[in-house]
């Protein structure tokens, strides 16, 4: 069995793991490569989710490429940015994982959410495509950029409620 325990920056992949989003969030996983070889993914508990284009290093030195599998999705479009932003707000308020593209949003297929979005006047199309949702502003600790998004790092902030402080 091929055992994958760590990320590697790049390499010449000898195999591919084609996984849907849900499985790419797992740190421990028994699966198989695209050509059928059994694989154990045993990443450290503080590891980030696997993303399209990541590479994992096997115990035997081989490199394995991660590919996002095609999934049943909803693709949401509309004519104006404000309506799309409102849709993103309402989906985020429901903690829905969303992929953001140029003029569209994608989310996992869900009949209730599709109806809500249609009622908001958006065009909802059922598609099959890879799903790479946003990781979130605070989820970038171990993230590396693929050019379209960047890691966010914010200093911790202490909120003092009920106290007023004069700036000195």
In tens, the pLDDT along 38-67 reads 999 999 999 999 999 999 999 999 999 999
Q: How confident is residue 167, by pLDDT bands cut at 50, 70 and 90?
A: low
Q: Which residue has the higher pLDDT, 166 or 121?
A: 121
Residue pair 139/46 in contact (Cβ under 8 Å)? The answer is no
Report the pLDDT value the prediction gives residue 9, as an integer from 0 to 100: 86
CA distance 102 to 167: 42
CATH number of this structure's domain 70-130: 3.30.70.790
CATH class of 2-68: mainly beta
pLDDT: is 130 or 149 the higher one? 130
Higher pLDDT, 111 or 138: 111
Percentage of the chain beyond pLDDT 70 is 81
Q: What is the mean pLDDT of residues 138-153?
A: 45
pLDDT confidence of residue 14:
92
The yes-or-no verdict on residue 119 having pLDDT over 60 is yes
Residue 159 has pLDDT above 90, yes or no: no
pLDDT band at 148 (very low <50, low <70, confident <90, very high): very low
Which residue in 6, 94, 103 sits closest to 47, CA to CA? 6
What is the tens place of the pLDDT at every residue in 68-92? Answer: 999 999 999 998 999 999 999 999 9
Tell me what the pLDDT averaged over the chain comes to: 86
C-alpha 21/C-alpha 16 separation (Å) is 15
Q: Where are the domains of the chain?
A: 2-68, 70-130
Cβ distance 55 to 13 under 8 Å? yes
pLDDT for the residue 11: 78
Residue 21 has pLDDT above 70, yes or no: yes
Average pLDDT over residues 126-145: 73
- What is the Rg, in whole angstroms, of the alpha carbon atoms belonging to the chain? 20
């Amino acid at each position: 069995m091929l055992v994958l325990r760590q990320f590697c920056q790049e390499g010449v992949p000898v195999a591919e793991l084609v996984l849907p989003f849900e499985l790419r969030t797992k740190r421990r996983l028994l699966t198989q490569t695209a050509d059928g070889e059994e694989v154990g993914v045993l990443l450290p508990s503080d590891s980030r989710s696997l993303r399209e284009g990541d590479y994992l290093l096997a115990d035997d030195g081989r490199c394995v490429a991660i590919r996002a599998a095609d999934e049943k999705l909803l693709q949401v479009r509309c004519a104006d940015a404000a309506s799309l932003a409102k849709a993103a707000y309402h989906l985020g308020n429901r903690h829905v994982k969303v992929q953001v593209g140029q003029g569209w949003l994608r989310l996992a297929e869900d009949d209730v959410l599709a109806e809500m979005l249609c009622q908001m006047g958006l065009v909802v199309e059922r598609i099959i495509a890879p799903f790479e949702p946003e990781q979130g502003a605070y989820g970038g600790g171990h993230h590396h950029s693929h050019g379209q998004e960047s890691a966010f790092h914010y200093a911790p902030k202490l909120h003092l409620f009920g106290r007023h402080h004069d700036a000195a």
